A = this chain, B = another copy of it.
C-alpha cells in the first residue's frame, strides 16, 4: 500500500485523480497548491509525488526542488499541460522520474506509477547502496557497517534509521518524518524507541570522530560529517 502526494490546483481533475488512485489502492492526499503540498510532505510520509507544474502560489518545479532537498530518492512525476521541451528538461534536472502531458489517460498514469514503484523497489532490493562514514562503509542491503578495525551487523531498525540519516546527511532529519517512514506512526513510545536506536548508532560510530549524530532540540537529528 503506497501513499501518494498529489498536488493539483484544478479541483475537478484533482478529485477525479484522487478518487481513481484511491480506487486502485493508492492512499492519495490531494493538495491544491505547492505550499500546501510542501507542508503536507513535511508532516506525512509519502512513497511517491505527482505534481502539477502550473499551480498558484508555488509551482511544481519549485515544489519538487524543495521536496528533493529533504528526500533524494522519492519518485516524482510531473503533470504538465505544456508540451514544451525545455520545461520538461528543467523538471528532470530537479530529479523527476517521469512526466505526463495533459490531457492524459488515467490508466496511462497508473501504468507509469506502477512502473516507477516497481523500478524503485527492485532497484532498492537489487542495487547495493553504500555510504561512506569516515573510515566506515555502510552497506544498506547487507546491513553492514564496517571499517578495517570493526564490523557491525546492524539490525533492521538500526539500518533503516542510519540510512535515513545518511540520505539527509548534514541536514536535519525530522523526528516525525523518520517515525512515519520507519515506524509507520509517530507516537510517544515509537519516539522513545527511536531515541534508543540513536544511542545504539552513536555507540557504533563513537571511534570515528569525523562523524557525529547531533540532536536538534524539538526537531530531530542531524548526521554531520567533516
Contacts and interface: CB of A to CB of B under 8 A. Distances in A.
Interface of A is mostly: mixed
B156 A98 contact: no
B72 A115 contact: yes
A176 to B, nearest CB: 16
A42 interface: no
Interface string A1-32: 00000000000000000000000000000000
Interface stretch (A46-54, A55-63, A89-97, A189-197): A89-97
Nearest to A135: B93
Interface in A168-226: 169-171, 212, 214-219, 222, 224, 226
B156 A115 contact: no
Interface in A52-99: 68-69, 72-73, 88-89, 92-93, 95-99
